[in-house]
Amino acid sequence: MNKNKEKVPKIRFPGFTEPWEQRKLGDVVSYIVDNRGKNPTYYCSEGIPVIDNFMIKNTLYPELGTATRFIDEELYQNFIRKYNEIDDILLTLVGNGIGNISLFPADKAVIIQNTLGLRTDENKRFLFFLLMSKNQEIVKLDRGMAQPSIRQDEILDISIKIPKMEEQEKIGTYFSNLDNLITLHQRKLNHLKDKKKGLLQKMFPKNGELVPELRFPEFTDPWEQRKVGEFLTESKIKGSDGSKAKKLTVKLWRKGIVPKEEIYQGSSATQYYVRKSGQFMYGKLDFLNQAFGIVPPELDGYESTLDSPAFDFKDGINSGFFLEYISLKRFYKYQGNTANGSRKAKRIHADTFFEMPISVPRHDEQKKIGSFFQNIDNLITLHQRKLDHLKEQKKALLQQMFI
């Protein structure tokens, strides 16, 4: 009874009851494309794309548009040892990302060093997702050398369990549809992010200008040139020491303010300061890495050192507008690079930050801009959550629908 349970997955489509058959991966591989050790003598700036390791990301197909190396037709015909067919399984054997897989696309392309192509007479999509479910097992085959690597014979010796072809086809189709749904949500998310990026460039004046390219029709007055310090007051409410403080941190690339993992660890000699909901914070050492954020309500009362200072907003500035303005690359990169201090580990202190110029419109226009971008951020967050949920769902199903 137990042996039979080991030969069926936890979740299964109705109508299938037979145990799965145990095989070696090599038993179901009918053809191997291995062009390792035979690199082209030259590459081209365009032509037939080379599918490099970084393009194989555990997605159905690699994005050929991201290729950085190409070969011409002469190399393709006379140099490449073996050729792939559509839906051959591509597996990374050497370097970063070992164990990652994709399927070979319909377009003309080649694999060379570090990548193995596997052809099967079983259902290709089924075997692809089966190997994806065994990613951690494959990664553990790394030989532990300076450069991560897996031997071909070890890959082919992996034990797998497979059902009859009809069940393979149903599983392969199911996960293909799930992957397509994930891709659709990823594209929607990317579209929203690109849309926001484009609007930010147009709805804030370029350096040296006082009128944006795009604005709400009811506003026509020029923006005023002011200084950051006119709108902020630094908060220095003393809190706990480093051994007791509930700590927060400002993430890079404007990914928010979050609790630190080591909440109750640290030096008792380090002074921490209380941060309040709605305050603006930045990382002194990571100003050039867009370490900006607004303290969320759930982190009210958490603490940080003066390397992550906090500021209260004065009247006359909208917090959402301010955060978007400060996060503009043309602001933080230019102002951060021109600020005094060494280029390596440069700290942007509050007095330096206060002297940075900022262009502002009337408060009602600020408020409208801040709300507009907050709504876009909410949409981005919603799509990101949907995407994360689908990925987690896929991860769980890979563990339960394969053995």
Rounded to two decimals, what is the model's pTM? Answer: 0.85
Q: Is the pLDDT of residue 55 over 90?
A: yes
Decide if 22 contacts 73 (C-beta within 8 A): no
CATH class entry, domain 226-359: alpha beta
Among 222, 198, 218, 200, which Cα is nearest to 209's? 222
SS3 51: coil
**Taking the mean position of all CA atoms in its chain, how far away is CA 340?**
33
- β-partners of residue 79 are none
Q: Which residues contact 301 (CB under 8 A, 6 or more apart)?
A: 246, 274, 275, 276
Instruction: Tell me the pLDDT tens digit for each residue of 278-319.
Output: 999 999 999 999 999 999 999 999 999 999 999 999 999 999
Domain boundary assignment for the chain: 1-17+164-223+361-403, 21-162, 226-359
Per-residue b/e over 272-309, b at no fewer than 16 CB within 10 Å? bbbbeeebbbbbbebbbebbbbbbeeebeebbbbbebb
Considering only residues 133 and 265, tell me which one the structure prediction assigns the higher pLDDT.
133
Q: How confident is the model at residue 1 (pLDDT cuts 50, 70, 90)?
A: very low
Instruction: Tell me the percentage of the chain whose pLDDT exceeds 90.
Output: 85
**21-162 and 226-359: same fold?**
yes
Residue 328: CA count within 13 A, CB half-sphere: 23
Alpha carbon separation from 187 to 68, 106, 195, 203, 381 (Å, rounded): 22, 21, 12, 24, 14
Alpha-carbon distance 326 to 381, whole Å?
20
Tell me yes or no: is domain 21-162 CATH 3.90.220.20.
yes
Percentage of residues in the chain having pLDDT higher than 70? 97
The domain made up of 1-17+164-223+361-403 is a member of CATH 1.10.287.1120: yes
pLDDT in tens, 225-269: 999 999 999 999 999 998 889 999 999 999 999 999 875 567 788
What pLDDT shows up at residue 243? 87
Burial group, residue 231, by CB count within 10 angstroms (0-12, 13-18, 19+): buried
Q: Which residue has the higher pLDDT, 38 or 332?
A: 332
- The average confidence (pLDDT) of the chain is 93
Least confident of 124-133, 266-275, 394-403: 266-275
